[in-house]
């Protein structure tokens, strides 16, 4: 190794150290609190809908299904209106964990590519993020169903 290469490596190391000193530290505690709060509020809204559906005469299974459908609808609607992005900006992982985050992951690519048209834009891109989740979820459910059938 010649002298020029040694000096270049030293300069790279000095640069890395300088970056580490200057780089702002992420507010981890603040981010955790916001994620917990936003995720909790989304779940609270879901719990309120579950309670409302239960008190309106739906059975437990029907109320759960109606709640899931309502939360998916709200997640898609808020994504379409641009509100879910603001929620995600502050809530971070708290906004992607609940079922509304799944709705957001399906609608967001569609919104991004709608200017390309409904076929080549929305239709082709809607499942770019959620597609693998749907495929693997389907495959795992089939596998679990086969195992259940063989065991019983």
Residue showing tokens 């641009």: 82
Would you list the domain boundaries of the chain? 29-151
Q: At what angle do helices 28-55 and 60-80 cross, to 10 degrees?
A: 130
Kindly give the parts of the chain with pLDDT less than 50: none
Q: What is the pLDDT of residue 41?
A: 93
Q: What is the pLDDT of residue 135?
A: 74
Contact 111, 82 (CB under 8 A): no
Per residue in 84-126, pLDDT (tens digit) is 889 988 888 888 877 888 777 777 777 766 666 666 666 666 6
């Amino acid at each position: 190794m010649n002298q020029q290469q040694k000096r270049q490596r030293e300069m790279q190391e000095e640069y890395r150290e300088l970056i580490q000193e200057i780089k702002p530290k992420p507010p981890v505690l603040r981010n955790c609190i916001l994620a917990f709060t936003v995720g909790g509020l989304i779940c609270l809204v879901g719990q309120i809908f579950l309670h409302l559906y239960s008190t309106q005469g739906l059975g437990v299974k029907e109320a759960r299904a109606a709640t899931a459908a309502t939360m998916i609808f709200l997640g898609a609607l808020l994504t379409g209106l641009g509100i879910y992005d603001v929620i995600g900006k502050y809530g971070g992982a708290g906004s992607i964990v609940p079922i509304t985050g799944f709705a957001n992951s399906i609608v967001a690519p569609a919104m991004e590519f709608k200017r390309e048209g409904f076929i080549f834009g929305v239709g082709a891109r809607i499942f770019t993020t959620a597609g693998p989740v749907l495929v693997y979820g389907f495959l795992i459910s089939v596998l679990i169903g086969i195992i259940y059938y063989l065991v019983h």
